[in-house]
Amino acid sequence: MDYSEKYIDISREELVSKVQAQMSEKRFRHVLGVEQAALQLAEKYGASMEKASIAALTHDYAKERKDAEFQETIRHDGLDPELLNWGNEIWHGIVGANLVQRELGITDEEILQAIRLHTTGAAEMTLLDKVIYVADYIEPGRSFPKVEEARKIAFEDLDMAVSYETKHTLSYLVKKEATIYPKTIETYNRWVAKK
Ligand code: DGI
Ligand code: FE
Ligand code: FE
């Protein structure tokens, strides 16, 4: 795909190499899978394919950074200090978006927000946020028991796919007795809970 240079001043190929340099081969394959799924969803639902490609390629850009770098970024960028109570799973999107902005020069707020929300979702999600959130869950490399069902729903009704993913992620976290990030609960209340 050719980028218009509106959102990033390098080509897709150059972005792919920069992303590859940040992560393991396995995670890089995941990222390419997310891009593939995101492009299909963007095409089906009418989101920007270029923004979907850039957000998908960068969504896990910071995932292999050390905790100390995230902690330093939270302090340096003046992000909510409450974030310091969390860990890589929550930081790599929310804090990672700032590293993407700084290091790759991406300033488009829609792209940055899709990166920020990709792990937890949110009560309010744009079409691009949903595309990235769902693509991350259904990309071709994912293999968990209900992934085929999630893929089917994703191409029938994107909001239902957000709901399906949120419900299953939350029940997985509860089963593990993981600490639930408040935004994850907000996502559940908006997209899953019966009104
Ligand atoms: O980065 P990926 O592995 O591609 O996927 P992701 O960013 O959607 O999720 C990363 C991890 O974050 C995954 O193991 C689930 C976890 N997670 C999602 N919501 C929460 C969470 N972990 C905690 N502790 N609390 C949450 O609310
Ligand atoms: Fe992630
Ligand atoms: Fe991911």
pLDDT digits (tens, 9 = 90+) for 20-76: 999 999 999 999 999 999 999 999 999 999 999 999 999 999 999 999 999 999 999
7 pLDDT exceeds 90?
yes
Please state the atom number of ligand 1 nearest to the C-alpha of residue 133.
8
> What are the extents of the domains in the chain?
12-143
12-143 is a CATH 3.40.50.800 domain: no
Task: Read off the pLDDT of each residue in 137-141 and give the average, rounded to a whole number.
Answer: 98
Ligand 1 within 6 A of 164 CB? no
What's the gap in Å between 127 CA and the centre of ligand 2?
18
Which residue lies with its CA nearest to atom 6 of ligand 1? Answer: 119
Ligand 1 within 6 A of 129 CB? no
Q: Look at the pTM and tell me if it is higher than 0.75.
A: yes
What's the gap in Å between 88 CA and the centre of ligand 1?
9
What's the gap in Å between 189 CA and the centre of ligand 1?
18
Q: CA torsion angle for 33, 36, 38, 41 (degrees, to 10)?
A: -130
Ligand 1 within 6 A of 22 CB? no
Which residue lies with its CA nearest to atom 22 of ligand 1? Answer: 89
Ligand 1 within 6 A of 119 CB? yes
Predicted local distance difference test score (pLDDT) of residue 158: 98
Ligand 1 within 6 A of 91 CB? no
195 pLDDT exceeds 90?
no
Q: Count of CB atoms within 10 A of residue 179's CB?
A: 12
What's the gap in Å between 195 CA and the centre of ligand 3?
30
> Taking all residues of the chain, what is their mean pLDDT, rounded to a whole number?
98
**All residues with CB under 5 Å from ion ligand 3:** 60, 136
Please state the atom number of ligand 1 nearest to the C-alpha of residue 30.
4
Tens of pLDDT along 69-83? 999 999 999 999 999
Instruction: Please give the structure tokens belonging to residue 21.
Output: 């340099």
Distance CA 106, CA 194 (A): 38
In three-state form (DSSP H/G/I as H, E/B as E, the rest C), the secondary structure along 7-69 is: CCCCCHHHHHHHHHCCCCHHHHHHHHHHHHHHHHHHHHHCCCHHHHHHHHHHCCCCCCCCHHH
**All residues with CB under 5 Å from ion ligand 2:** 60
